Structure 1
Amino acid sequence: MFEAREGEIALAEDPGAMAGDARLVFIGRIRSPWNTRADCPKNMAAARTAGLPASVEIEPRYRRGLGGLAGTSHVVLLSWLGSAPRNLIVQKPRHASEAKGVFALRSPARPNPVGLHVARLIALDEAAGLLTLDAIDVLDGTPLLDIKPYFASIDSFPDAMPPRHRDAP
């Protein structure tokens, strides 16, 4: 399924096969136009360029948790990227010239494949548990772990840079 690239290093034990210490539940599913990894955008910027909306379906028992979310412009979604390998600790992305540690990358392949997505909230139907989003960069049916409102006043850092720019003059 996933072929190792030059410079990649796998863990001795696959975290996906280890006994878990968290009791996570899926609160819903993300509905997207993407059915294969080949079609799925690699990030939210690419997903927005595609111009295809997405949605989130919340399980009935969690729908009351949507109260107060109406009027929010953007949401942070935490998803479970369960199809991603969990044993790579050093990876070499296709577009990169060198391998990097998993914690310096946004790759879904990581010990705990939690996805982080900031999306514009287009519509919210609390009773039906349906959120309509501007875009998403995950496969259709991806499990949802959590939703949080995005606050530009505390979540945005205009001077933030990815690791490769830290040492640049």
Structure 2
Amino acid sequence: MQVNAIGLVNSPFKAKKGSPHQGRFSDEVSTITVFPEYAEALEGIESGQNLHVIYWMDRADSVSLKVVPHGRTEKRGVFSTRAPVRPNPMGLCLVKLVQIQGNILRVKWLDALDGSPVLDIKPFVEKLDCP
């Protein structure tokens, strides 16, 4: 299996401590710099659009199959949570695109740490993404 980063996050969140548990709990603005070789894949993305950003949580400490989710008291399987200590630490975050300039996306609600590799960007489509 081969996975390649398509860009990098520039975020006000430099460390896990102090970063939001979910991006929707913060209106901080981050940027995603899409590498030049992938820039043409941004055609059709528009400001104001909601996007799913898939990124690698490269500073996840370890793997745990059971965790105590934020706000809970009992352990649950990690696949029933959004905890970062996963077998494959991929983050999924719904963001609002504030602005696009060339290959740079300014977004809010992104919970990724500064320097996180971006794996993919997909549009949020209400008819598909809301049951």
Q: Which segments of 5 or more consecutive residues in structure 1 lack a partner in the other structure?
A: 1-21, 158-169
Q: Which runs of 4+ in 1 moved over 3 A?
A: none
Q: Larger radius of gyration, structure 1 or 2?
A: 1
Match of 1:136 in 2: 110
Q: CA separation in 2, counterparts of 1:130 and 1:94? A: 32
Higher strand share: 2
Question: Is the counterpart of residue 53 in structure 1 residue 29 in structure 2?
Answer: yes
Deviation at 1:70, TM superposition (A): 2.6
SS of 2:83's partner is coil
Q: Which segments of 5 or more consecutive residues in structure 2 lack a partner in the other structure?
A: none
Aligned residue pair count: 131
Task: Mark the CA change 1:42 to 1:65 in structure 2 (over 3 Å): closer, same or farther.
Answer: same
Q: CA separation in 1, counterparts of 2:64 and 2:10? A: 27
Question: Is the counterpart of residue 36 in structure 1 residue 10 in structure 2?
Answer: no
- In the alignment, is the contact (CA less than 8 A) between 1:86 and 1:112 conserved in 2? no
Q: Equivalent residues in 2 for 1:14-163 (5 A)?
A: 22-47=1-26, 51-70=27-46, 73-93=49-69, 95-125=71-101, 127=102, 129-157=103-131
Deviation at 1:57, TM superposition (A): 0.4
- In the alignment, is the contact (CA less than 8 A) between 2:7 and 2:34 conserved in 1? yes
Identity rate, percent: 28
Higher RCO, Cα 8 Å, sep 6+: 2
Deviation at 1:101, TM superposition (A): 0.4
Q: CA separation in 2, counterparts of 1:116 and 1:86? A: 18
Deviation at 1:86, TM superposition (A): 4.4
Alignment root-mean-square deviation, CA: 1.5
SS of 1:144's partner is strand
Deviation at 1:87, TM superposition (A): 2.4
1:21-58 superposed Cα distances (whole Å, 9 cap, x missing partner): x20000001111111111110102222xxx32111000
